[in-house]
Amino acid sequence: MTGGLEVVRAGALTTVQDQGRTGWAHLGVGRAGALDAPSHRLANRLVGNPVSAAVLETTVTGCAVRAVRTGKSVVAVVGGAVCRVTVDGRPVAWGAPVRVPEGAVLEAGPAVSGLRSYLALAGGLEPDAVLGSRSADLLSGLGPAPLRDGDVVPLGRPGPCPPAPDAVPWPGAPAELVLPVHLGPRHTWFTDTALRTLTTAAYRVSVRSNRIGLRTEGPALQRARDGELPSEGMVLGAIQVPPDGRPVVFLNDHPTTGGYPVIGVVPERALAGAARVGPGVGVRFVLA
Per-residue model confidence as pLDDT tens digits over 193-219? 999 999 999 999 999 999 999 999 999
Query: Which segments in the chain show pLDDT lower than 70?
Result: 1-2
pTM of the full structure: 0.95
Instruction: Express each pLDDT in 1-27 by its tens digit.
Output: 468 999 999 999 999 999 999 999 999
| pLDDT for the residue numbered 3 | 86
| pLDDT for the residue numbered 160 | 81
| pLDDT for the residue numbered 2 | 65
| Residues sharing a CB contact under 8 Å with residue 34, sequence separation 6 or more, in sequence order | 17, 18, 19, 20, 40, 55, 57, 118, 135, 252, 275
| pLDDT for the residue numbered 1 | 47
Residues in the chain, overall count: 288
CB 35 within 8 A of CB 106: no
Q: Where are the domains of the chain?
A: 3-155, 176-287
Q: How far, in Å, are 93, 250, 278, 279 from residue 189 at the CA level?
A: 51, 19, 30, 29
CB 203 within 8 A of CB 283: yes
Topology (CATH) of 176-287? Cyclophilin (2.40.100)
